[in-house]
Chain A
């Protein structure tokens, strides 16, 4: 694909203060983010520190444990010379005696420009966006959306495939409890991809066909037509009771292994949002094999997050008058 050497010209078309999910974005907005991510990827080849967010304060509010996403956001902000502050709280706001909105308002009062929010409750970042003056970036809200993960998956696919128009992407596994699945579906369908969701009926949420995806329960049936296979993590922590009889049976029916890879397209891309359960969603040989994009995804995540932070900071600077 063409890597823009200059700043993408489209920044004026970005007007959003918050990034809450890919549902709300149109195709052009998604492409602006992807183009900026590509731009930062080029700039980062020299590993020099950039100053796009110089003077901007980014707070990471993680109300749910996370190491990968938090590290990636932190590094993205730092590579752009932002000041960062971390706030980690476990459990619901009730157990702390302070509501979650109060917590965010407190952090905001310390002079924060952007807030990166991870929370176990769907809609929590949206709730904050209505109460805060800062820009809010959703870093995963329960089983709702995880827009930067969706974007980095799409960025990785676009980088390898050129365009997603007409390409077939199969999402495998726990669709019901997956915010990554929802963000992937919104983003991919907007960019013209054909999306298949594949998993046991207990892990397919009702009426998901209305999002323009095809539902399939037998993984083997869709191997041959998939350009990309995105293996979602089994969300043991979000499941309540047994949605399938055993991990062994899950791996047998929905795990990616050498045999299945042989029946897939020759250049199939294997993605997994991680952290992966080796031997469950995919076998180690596939995870470490040539089709695997797992580590590229992690690398690209940094550039996608740099792009998102930069775009939101621009809006914030434009809309907040200097005191």
Chain B
């Protein structure tokens, strides 16, 4: 059995409230049990983690990997490589591919491609409705057998409330969550950015915050009546946070995530019509940004997700109202969170890591997200002080649509370990 010793690091494991200087021993791909010590076994490889943070491998609860169907943007292999470089050991792939992951076979395809790539773990999210048409439920039971860990119609909101109600009832059989893009489609049709003063000045069609808030309220009401689990992806509005906070106080099974760009930017970023800032949901105003940060601080928002949406250059170089939505965010999530949350002292490292481990692991019912003895050794090692410049042309991702190109940031992934095996070393890149 191979052994890997990570020495002298600051071990942060929010699942056990640990934040201390401690070595971590990996034996045979698992965290060593309490009776095994580095002193009495042979060490094959060791990493000196002095000055570094050692934490459970990060988990992203929704990424778009575009395979099958749009391999020009990303494949499961390149997406998984981007995830590793971003410190992620597990990512959940959205089912909004072509064809949609709405059958056992298509879920198994994702699992298979993930195994072939042998990078991070890519677990499938299954479709809620067949072909994301919003009309008939997909074969949810079969999808679970094929490996699906949660259900979503991707960027298509589940707009028919009766379908959403049945989906929540049905998935409750397996205690799996439905990840909805909370948005009333009719209110955002043709929209490009947040509706407000900036959209008025720029002459771009707006996407009002109310479009999200109405759907958040509906989903909470349906979760309450069904007892099902609803998760709201990439929320962006102040009222959404308030609604979720209240719902949690009533013990409704609702959770939410937020994406780094919504924590850092306001809608003024659209002023020069750069399509790399065009995301769905849109970047809103300062009051919304502040509310999202508050939601993270008081645990109303349990997860942070990149909402990785890779898009090839030719798609993003269109006119802004024709260009598709999305940011390729896996490789910049961590430093952007450091900028938005750590440098501003909104969160501690332990709190931040919790949103990237325990939060998504709980959402997707995964065993990972912890460094408990004997679990599979998925570990991320971070240099919290490394200063570097984001260069999108150095991305592992096949796409470079990221508006933070050129930004100087702090905090960098040094090693990403999956199954006890070092799959990514930052030093090897440059």
Minimum CB–CB distance from A302 to chain B (whole Å) comes to 26
Please give, as numbers and ranges, the residues of chain B lying within 8 Å of A182 by CB-CB distance.
201, 203
The answer to whether A94 touches B318 (Cβ under 8 A) is yes
Most buried by A among B195, B197, B202, B272: B202
Q: Which of B189, B197, B320 interacts with A206 by CB under 8 Å?
A: B197
Bits for B302-330, please: 1 = Cβ < 8 Å to A, else 0: 00000000000010011111100000000
Minimum CB–CB distance from A18 to chain B (whole Å) comes to 13
One of A207-215, A222-230, A267-275 contacting the partner = A207-215
The residue on A at minimum CB distance from B194 is: A206
Tell yes or no: B399 within 8 A of A by CB: no
Minimum CB–CB distance from B185 to chain A (whole Å) comes to 13
Q: Which of A99, A101, A142, A210 interacts with B203 by CB under 8 Å?
A: A142
The answer to whether A206 touches B206 (Cβ under 8 A) is yes
Cα of A126 to Cα of B320 in the assembled complex, Å: 11
Q: Which of A93, A123, A207 interacts with B197 by CB under 8 Å?
A: A207
Please give, as numbers and ranges, the residues of chain B lying within 8 Å of A127 by CB-CB distance.
273, 319-320
The residue on A at minimum CB distance from B321 is: A121
Tell yes or no: A124 within 8 A of B by CB: yes
Tell yes or no: A194 within 8 A of B by CB: no
Tell yes or no: B51 within 8 A of A by CB: no
Q: Which of B195, B197, B203, B206 interacts with A179 by CB under 8 Å?
A: B203
Q: A206-B195, A208-B200 are in contact. Are A92 and B190 (CB under 8 A)?
A: no
Q: Which of B189, B197, B203, B322 interacts with A144 by CB under 8 Å?
A: B203
Cα of A211 to Cα of B200 in the assembled complex, Å: 10
Please give, as numbers and ranges, the residues of chain B lying within 8 Å of A179 by CB-CB distance.
203
B residues neighboring A (CB under 8 Å) = 189-190, 195-197, 199-206, 272-273, 314, 317-322
Q: Which of A75-103 contact B (CB under 8 A)?
A: 92-94, 99-101
Please give, as numbers and ranges, the residues of chain B lying within 8 Å of A143 by CB-CB distance.
203-205
How many inter-chain residue pairs (CB < 8 Å) link A and B? 71
Q: Which of B190, B272, B319 interacts with A100 by CB under 8 Å?
A: B319
The answer to whether A122 touches B200 (Cβ under 8 A) is no
The answer to whether A122 touches B203 (Cβ under 8 A) is yes
Q: A121-B319, A207-B197 are in contact. Are A141 and B314 (CB under 8 A)?
A: no
- Could you pull out 29 A-B pairs where Cβ atoms are within 8 angstroms? A23-B201, A92-B318, A93-B318, A94-B322, A99-B314, A99-B318, A101-B317, A119-B319, A121-B321, A122-B203, A122-B321, A123-B202, A123-B272, A123-B320, A124-B319, A126-B272, A127-B273, A127-B319, A127-B320, A141-B203, A142-B321, A144-B204, A182-B201, A205-B199, A206-B196, A206-B197, A207-B196, A208-B200, A211-B201
Cα of A121 to Cα of B325 in the assembled complex, Å: 16
The answer to whether B204 touches A122 (Cβ under 8 A) is yes
Please give, as numbers and ranges, the residues of chain A lying within 8 Å of B206 by CB-CB distance.
205-206
Minimum CB–CB distance from A220 to chain B (whole Å) comes to 25
- Report, nearest first, the 4 A-B pairs whose CB atoms are least far apart: A123-B273, A144-B203, A121-B319, A207-B197
Cα of A206 to Cα of B202 in the assembled complex, Å: 12
The answer to whether A144 touches B202 (Cβ under 8 A) is yes
Q: Which of A236-269 contact B (CB under 8 A)?
A: 240
Please give, as numbers and ranges, the residues of chain B lying within 8 Å of A99 by CB-CB distance.
314, 317-318
Cα of A207 to Cα of B203 in the assembled complex, Å: 13
Q: Which of A92, A126, A205, A210 interacts with B273 by CB under 8 Å?
A: A126
Q: A122-B273, A126-B273 are in contact. Are A93 and B322 (CB under 8 A)?
A: yes
Cα of A208 to Cα of B199 in the assembled complex, Å: 10
Please give, as numbers and ranges, the residues of chain B lying within 8 Å of A281 by CB-CB distance.
none
Please give, as numbers and ranges, the residues of chain A lying within 8 Å of B190 by CB-CB distance.
240
Minimum CB–CB distance from B320 to chain A (whole Å) comes to 5
The residue on A at minimum CB distance from B275 is: A127
Tell yes or no: A145 within 8 A of B by CB: yes
The answer to whether B322 touches A122 (Cβ under 8 A) is no
Cα of A23 to Cα of B197 in the assembled complex, Å: 14
Cα of A206 to Cα of B319 in the assembled complex, Å: 23
The answer to whether A122 touches B318 (Cβ under 8 A) is no
Q: A122-B273, A123-B273 are in contact. Are A206 and B200 (CB under 8 A)?
A: yes
Cα of A101 to Cα of B322 in the assembled complex, Å: 13
Please give, as numbers and ranges, the residues of chain A lying within 8 Å of B317 by CB-CB distance.
99, 101
The residue on B at minimum CB distance from A207 is: B197
The answer to whether B318 touches A100 (Cβ under 8 A) is yes
Q: Which of A107-135 contact B (CB under 8 A)?
A: 119, 121-124, 126-127
Most buried by B among A100, A142, A182, A211: A142
Minimum CB–CB distance from A133 to chain B (whole Å) comes to 18
Minimum CB–CB distance from B201 to chain A (whole Å) comes to 7
Most buried by A among B199, B317, B319, B322: B319
Please give, as numbers and ranges, the residues of chain B lying within 8 Å of A210 by CB-CB distance.
197
The answer to whether B201 touches A92 (Cβ under 8 A) is no
Please give, as numbers and ranges, the residues of chain B lying within 8 Å of A94 by CB-CB distance.
318, 322
Please give, as numbers and ranges, the residues of chain A lying within 8 Å of B203 by CB-CB distance.
122, 141-145, 179, 182
Cα of A205 to Cα of B206 in the assembled complex, Å: 9
Cα of A40 to Cα of B199 in the assembled complex, Å: 36
Most buried by B among A121, A126, A240: A121
Please give, as numbers and ranges, the residues of chain B lying within 8 Å of A126 by CB-CB distance.
272-273
Please give, as numbers and ranges, the residues of chain A lying within 8 Å of B196 by CB-CB distance.
206-207
The answer to whether A205 touches B200 (Cβ under 8 A) is yes
The answer to whether B319 touches A92 (Cβ under 8 A) is yes
Please give, as numbers and ranges, the residues of chain B lying within 8 Å of A206 by CB-CB distance.
195-197, 199-200, 206
Minimum CB–CB distance from B213 to chain A (whole Å) comes to 15
Minimum CB–CB distance from B253 to chain A (whole Å) comes to 35
The residue on B at minimum CB distance from A63 is: B319
Cα of A92 to Cα of B321 in the assembled complex, Å: 10
Cα of A206 to Cα of B193 in the assembled complex, Å: 13
The residue on B at minimum CB distance from A127 is: B273
Cα of A153 to Cα of B196 in the assembled complex, Å: 27
Please give, as numbers and ranges, the residues of chain A lying within 8 Å of B273 by CB-CB distance.
122-123, 126-127
Minimum CB–CB distance from B146 to chain A (whole Å) comes to 35
Cα of A87 to Cα of B152 in the assembled complex, Å: 45
